[in-house]
A and B are shown apart, each in its own frame.
Chain A
């Protein structure tokens, strides 16, 4: 635990009568990419702000590199907040240089590093441009570069993909992999499970301020095992129909016609067995596909369909971006 970038022990944060984070404990071991997953309002941002000492937990403790968060150990951290913002009148290069200097870099090093990062990410010709003159995507890129300019040991990224177009999301994924390859530990929050599936060694799932899962991706998938995706006509309750046959079904994100369900397979049975059982119940099947478990399905199985529904809702940043 001594040099673990982050250990949160029983952290609780309340705002008046509302408990945003409830008795949260997890550890971020050195060198891993951890996904911090949960729908909007699950308490992810509050947890991350507590982990940085921006907010103090009402109960429990936070340890950053073996000590309470302070300016010294925070110098080893790069933080990208969910609500992005930069000084609009500063240039891209000055912005990165400024935040790198605040993290302890010397003026010349910070400036050189800013130039290097801007060049390697294709923003070289915009380095003297004011932030207000950049596109939203470019400005977000500048903020991300500001976060990692001082070569932090630990990167905390709060919803880093929100507001980015698919091309920039891919660029960010590449950046995260590059930082990981450099040796950085990475903790990022997201409500989009696909990013976590592509990037993470481990995930921590949160719902209503409580941790509902903490483990590797494989362990998450193992909670559901092999499965099959079935689409049935609207309104048909496949879970109720399959339960007597020993199959467990959960609503999944709809893809194609009808209501989409994921059916978990008991040990020793295959997807064809599930299809046969469904046909025997007279289920109006309009689609069928054997598949491995997805994180979203894991989340649905852990917290229920209603809670998981907000996973698909856009975040505040997405809404702003769309507007």
Chain B
């Protein structure tokens, strides 16, 4: 244990004394702050755009305006629901104040034809509106026969107004058809108001057959995705440490000296622990950053605690956290051993880079599975792929909120453990061949066959 500690200590201090470690440590919070700030800035700085509708009456303009109002009302409803879950009392005035500013504002048509509107659409002429004088962002012109609403705009990439217009047109068409069928406008309004709401419920044993779905019901799946992504991020970040660290030692010709002082398994264990500690330090620092950020947010908005509580409960549920911890440990050892063994075969960073591509592809597969699980946690793709030991560490965590059969959990853990033992054993052989005997990437297949007893060991330098 003493030797493991000494190897661990040297490697750990070697990593954390490097500039790269501190840059990586600062990068994630910085990225989050900059990303969040950028997102807020992008949303708040989105300019007010003027549009106009050229039509004989004011019907289409009214329909588009109504569509905007419906969208705003839905957003207010969602905000009210969230506030309800956070147990934060809000009134309509507060909701209206919190609603984002309208980004598309209707103005009176400055001209009636496309040709006449052209200078306004290209910015040669400006139109007046609530936000001052601006170019006309879009003009919606109803054709003479009333069958086509032409959407004219110089900026074809901003499509929010067009989508709203399309929805408004469908609604208007339905309304016209119903009015034509003899229904009164009042009746249609009453029908809309009396539309049946869809409420989401979940069956439960303990609450008289079931109750409405809340954040607490979705929290386990979200936490599972977060944990799987956390493990993925950890494995992803150890690649460079293990590859570069081992290459440095191989190029420094230091293995012979080390191996006359410590046993090979002690050396590997110390190194894996050091990288684990480095990544854990990073993750812990980021978690603390998130914790402090959440605490600060909660202090500003007390109701936020109510929102966070279900996630904390899910994250501390033994049914999720125990398989997650086992997956973390086995997944880390499994991938760590592979990367370290491969690093021991490389003399240069260039050589290691040739290995990075297949490793990235290998690592992207569970990442895709995490995406699938986020969309459809019960997908059979996740169930089947979780039997592949290289993916099990990530996917078993994702499956846990779906309450898979116990035998499957035990069997997958057993398979994962057996594979980890096999990979560690093989990696030790490869590491010895690379670090001690100077074998290179080209010798890899020969060594694996040799280790499996398929043919004599590959020639290596003495």
Contacts and interface: CB of A to CB of B under 8 A. Distances in A.
Given A15-B459, A15-B462, A45-B462, A74 B261 contact: yes
Which DSSP category, helix, strand, loop or mixed, fits chain B's interface?
Answer: loop
Interface stretch (B102-110, B233-241, B250-258, B343-351): B250-258
Contacts of B256: 49, 52, 54, 79, 81, 83
A236 interface: no
The residue among B18, B252, B254, B260 with the most chain A CB atoms within 10 A of its own CB is B260
Interface string A147-173: 000000000000000000000000000
B260 A77 contact: yes
Contacts of B257: 79, 81, 85, 99, 143, 146
A54 B10 contact: no
A85 B253 contact: yes
Nearest to A89: B14
Contact of B462 (A46, A74, A75, A88): A46
Nearest to B254: A85
A148 to B, nearest CB: 13
Contacts of A86: 252, 254
Interface in A78-105: 79, 81, 83-90, 98-99, 101-103
B290 interface: no
A128 interface: no
A20 interface: yes
Given A77-B260, A87-B14, A16 B253 contact: no
A13 interface: yes
B204 interface: no
A135 B55 CA distance: 85
Nearest to A75: B261
B10 to A, nearest CB: 6
A79 B260 contact: yes
A54 B262 contact: no
B461 A15 contact: yes
B298 interface: no
A153 B17 CA distance: 35
Contact of B263 (A16, A45, A71, A98): A71
**Number of chain A interface residues as a range:** 35 or more
A55 interface: yes
B6 interface: yes
A223 to B, nearest CB: 29
Contacts of B461: 15
Nearest to B456: A16
A99 B260 CA distance: 10
Interface in B137-166: none
A79 B260 CA distance: 7
Contacts of B254: 85-87
Contacts of A75: 261
B112 interface: no
Nearest to A41: B462
Interface in B46-86: none
Interface of B: 3, 6, 10, 14, 17-18, 248-249, 251-254, 256-263, 436-437, 456, 458-462
Given A46-B462, A54-B256, A55-B437, 5 more contacts: A16-B458, A74-B261, A81-B253, A81-B256, A103-B261
Interface of A: 13, 15-18, 20, 43, 45-46, 49, 52-55, 71, 74-75, 77, 79, 81, 83-90, 98-99, 101-103, 143, 146
10 contacts: A15-B461, A18-B462, A45-B462, A49-B256, A79-B256, A79-B260, A81-B257, A87-B10, A89-B14, A102-B6
